[in-house]
A and B are shown apart, each in its own frame.
Chain A
Amino acid sequence: MLVRRAAATILPHVVLVVFSAAILLPLLWVLRVSLTDKLTAYRIPPEWTEPRLDNYIEIFTAYRFADWFSNSLIVALASTLLALPLAVAMAYAFARHDTGGAPLRLGVLASQMLPPIVLVVPLFALFLGAGLLNTYAALVIAHLTFNIPFLAWMLVAFFEGEVRQLEEAARIEGATRFQAFIRVSVPLAAPGIMAAGLLGFILSWNEFLLALILSGRATQTLPVGLSSLETHRGVEIALLAAAALLAILPVFVLLPFLRKYLIKGLSLGALK
């Protein structure tokens, strides 16, 4: 009996430690490669050298890493900030007044689930015709295609979960519907709106296919730049490792602000 109970407490830890190792070891290996010099990075069996930061400097001098980074920042910020007010108002209408009913909600969900390849073909043709290829506008518009429906869908869940008494009290005291929305509902939903905005930012930061097709040399985002790293001079894995780690850094910085909302974000509002 005692043995069985001991096994029951130890078994989960065994599974979890193995699983955690499978996730962590590859990431630690990337970190190790990013800190070696270029030749050592290739050596098999591995050799150990003093850690150095050369690679983190060289990606800025040998490649246009700073440009990719700022392009990603511009596109992700612009598309999220443009989508957010539109999505907040739309989500509020869906949640409070059931505007459009089930068909419109389904439409928003479907917009969000749309495979990017379905949109990138017509967007490419349209932007080519309009002379918008290789501009920030093209990327921002393209990223609105997932940011608006994603944010709207997330925020409907937030507004539906919100208590309405304060809003109704404001209405009784003579506030218009719009004033009640701006002064009461939005401030109440502010943490949710912030979190949804951060998730939208991350979606845009990580997006690849639309940016690959619609960006040019001047507007390449980080994922597109990284994917070209591989083809240019063969694979310089030490540089690649450093670039990869810097690319995911912002997302990890944002994580603590998101913990509470992550499940809602991943389950598209279905779970809390």
Chain B
Amino acid sequence: MAATLAARDRRFGQLMAAPGLAALLLVIVFPILFTLYTSAFDFTLINPRHDTFVGFAHYARAFGLAEFGNALLVTLWFVVAVVVLEFAVGFLVALMLNAVERGKAVYYAILLCPLLINPVVVGLIWRMFLHPELGIANYVLGLVGLGPVNWLGDPRNAFWTLVVVDIWHQVSFMIVLLLAGLASLPKEPYEAARMEGAGTLACFWHVTLPLMRPVILVTLLIRLIFAVRTYDLVYIMTRGGPGQATDLVSYFIYRQAFVGLNIGQASALAVLLLLIVLVLTAWLYRHMRSLV
């Protein structure tokens, strides 16, 4: 009897999950399989009979493409820069927020604002501020005797401008999650540390950081995966330029597919990006389970 009950439970679970899983197979798994297929052809979008089979040639070519190597490198630097800087600023602000009582709700409400704004709008308004002659940014710099800065026209500046705008947009993500972690820390370890005469810094280093480790890891990994996917800001602010200074990998694949109309090559690049994100997601999954 017990065995059949368990079997019925299992069957009920499968029935309940089936429609959703079928939908995911249709809208996600099938397109990915189709990408694997197109990556092996010179896919023309016009007539299947014009498609020639090229096997793994697109994958081989991907590694020879200097532009793709550049896109991977720019993406790597971008991801490292935004994750590290957003974590540093975010942790500082979270610690300060955790220390105050008065005005906390107001500060919190303010910092939520950028998170809710869509990336296209963020890109558009910052383009407006950063216009070399008509933007307010250079005017304000001028008031204190600096600038003018060519924010988006110079390759070196453009990369860091993108990083700074991304920080403005996304740093609150780190703050919200790290603050939630800080707020749920137990009080006793701090009292014990105080009894032994530990100062503020020692407490932070030996109590806060070790206790926060799981939350920090999950927060960093989620942010890292989303940073790898960055597309909207690049499209709006720089179109990958000047030159290829901000040619993040998503934007590079977009150019291959929809500007160069080289669907086969773009598919191969997309598969490679997919593999990178899958590895990162598996890593995140392990840490998420350990947090629950």
Listed in ascending order, the chain A residues whose CB lies under 8 Å from chain B are 8, 11-13, 15-16, 19-20, 22-24, 26-27, 29-30, 33, 42, 44-46, 86-87, 89-90, 92-94, 96-100, 104-111, 113-126, 128, 141-142, 144-145, 148-149, 152, 177-178, 181, 202, 205-206, 208-209, 212-213, 223, 226-227, 229-230, 235, 237, 240-241, 244, 247-248, 251-252, 255, 262-263, 266-272
Contacts and interface: CB of A to CB of B under 8 A. Distances in A.
A46 B128 CA distance: 14
A248 B38 CA distance: 38
B176 A262 contact: yes
A23 B113 contact: yes
Contact of A86 (B19, B103, B168): B19
A118 B32 contact: yes
A59 B38 CA distance: 41
- Contact residues on B (Cβ < 8 Å of other chain), bracket: 35 or more
A117 B273 contact: yes
A105 B286 CA distance: 11
16 contacts: A26-B126, A30-B125, A99-B17, A117-B229, A120-B257, A121-B253, A126-B34, A149-B24, A223-B121, A235-B127, A247-B121, A248-B118, A251-B117, A270-B222, A271-B177, A271-B180
Given A106-B281, A208-B120, A118 B274 contact: yes
A205 B118 contact: yes
B159 interface: no
Contact of B263 (A110, A121, A227, A263): A121
Interface string B148-184: 0000000000000000000010001100110011001
B113 A27 contact: yes
Contact of B20 (A11, A86, A98): A86
B218 A116 contact: no
Q: Which of A118, A123, A128, A251 gathers the greatest number of chain B CB atoms within 10 Å?
A: A118
B97 interface: yes
B73 interface: no
Nearest to A237: B128
